[in-house]
Amino acid sequence: MKLIVVKDSEQGGKEAYQIFAEALKNGATVFGLATGSTPLTTYQKLVASKLDFSDAISINLDEYVGLKPDNPQSYQYFMQEHLFKSKPFKRSYLPQGDAKDAAQEVKRYDRVIAENPIDLQLLGIGRNGHIGFNEPGSDFTSATHKVALTPSTIAANARFFKNKDEVPRYAYSMGIGTILKSKKIILEAFGAAKAAAVAAMIEGPVTPACPASALQKHADVVAIVDEAAAAKLK
């Protein structure tokens, strides 16, 4: 895993932007995207740039189960607001939160990914080491699936909702197996709250107890980490 330590998320966004620009120049057409606060500076740089994604495809990591795409808390809405309305892609895929049949929905999403193998996947990391919504204990070979969110993830995500009770209890998420199939991966982590997870991901054993440690098994991962999130590395 290549490690880039930056001063802050602003710098981190610039580094990630460069990798997106390079990938696009070299013919990448399928971009795996994340939501949450971490990728925001990257999306700001992409929006401010001249990069053209109108021939590219985006595939997001995850979506809350039960939310309609026009719900302001949905990841579909988030992506529209922060990226797609300014930088449209040829096609953008997210799991459909309000799909009637969960088993069909995860199959559909896996078909989308199989037909559009991901060239560059952007990831954040949870305080408990999750990637996507693959919580500790997740199987490293998993495909897209419906997951029950842990109390710590519900508490962490409550900041985006009126209160904790409004946070959905389930999400659809690409699996770790799916994520590991991406050709190249960028993982961003900013802030002291991520320091323990970053140390476990990079220096800890490869174990389902820290889902992000699975990235040690991938040949082309760039971790872009600010000084606060790097503080627990040896």
Residues classed as catalytic = 62, 128, 130, 135
Joined together, the tokens standing for residue 199 give: 């140390």
Closest to ligand F6R by CB, 12 vs 124, is 124
Nearest distance from residue 111's CB to ligand F6R, in Å? 20
Nearest distance from residue 233's CB to ligand F6R, in Å? 18
Residue 145 touches ligand F6R, criterion: CB under 6 A: no
Near ligand F6R by CB under 6 A: residue from 34, 106, 199, 225:
34
Nearest distance from residue 155's CB to ligand F6R, in Å? 12
Residue span 51-90 as binding mask against ligand F6R, x where in contact by CB under 6 A, dash where not: ----------xx----------------------------
Residue 142 touches ligand F6R, criterion: CB under 6 A: no
Closest to ligand F6R by CB, 57 vs 189, is 189
Joined together, the tokens standing for residue 54 give: 């109108």
Closest to ligand F6R by CB, 5 vs 55, is 5
Near ligand F6R by CB under 6 A: residue from 18, 37, 49, 141:
37
Residues in 92-131 at the binding interface with ligand F6R, rule: CB under 6 A: 124-126, 130-131
Residue 226 touches ligand F6R, criterion: CB under 6 A: no
Near ligand F6R by CB under 6 A: residue from 12, 36, 95, 97:
36
Q: Distance of CA 76 to CAs 18, 47, 50, 173, 229, Å? A: 25, 17, 23, 13, 28
DSSP assignments along the chain, one per residue? -EEEEESSHHHHHHHHHHHHHHHHHTT--EEEE--SSTTHHHHHHHHHS----TT-EEEESEEETT--TTSTTSHHHHHIIIIITTS--SEEE---TT-S-HHHHHHHHHHHHHHS--SEEEE---TTS-BTTB-TT--TT--SEEEEPPHHHHHHHGGGSSSGGGS-SEEEE--HHHHHTSSEEEEEE-SGGGHHHHHHHHHS-S-TTSGGGGGGGSSSEEEEEETTTTTT--
Closest to ligand F6R by CB, 53 vs 190, is 190
Q: How many residues bind ligand F6R (CB under 6 A)?
A: 13
Counts of helices then strands in the chain (DSSP H, E): 7, 10
Binding residues for ligand F6R (CB under 6 A): 34-38, 61-62, 124-126, 130-132
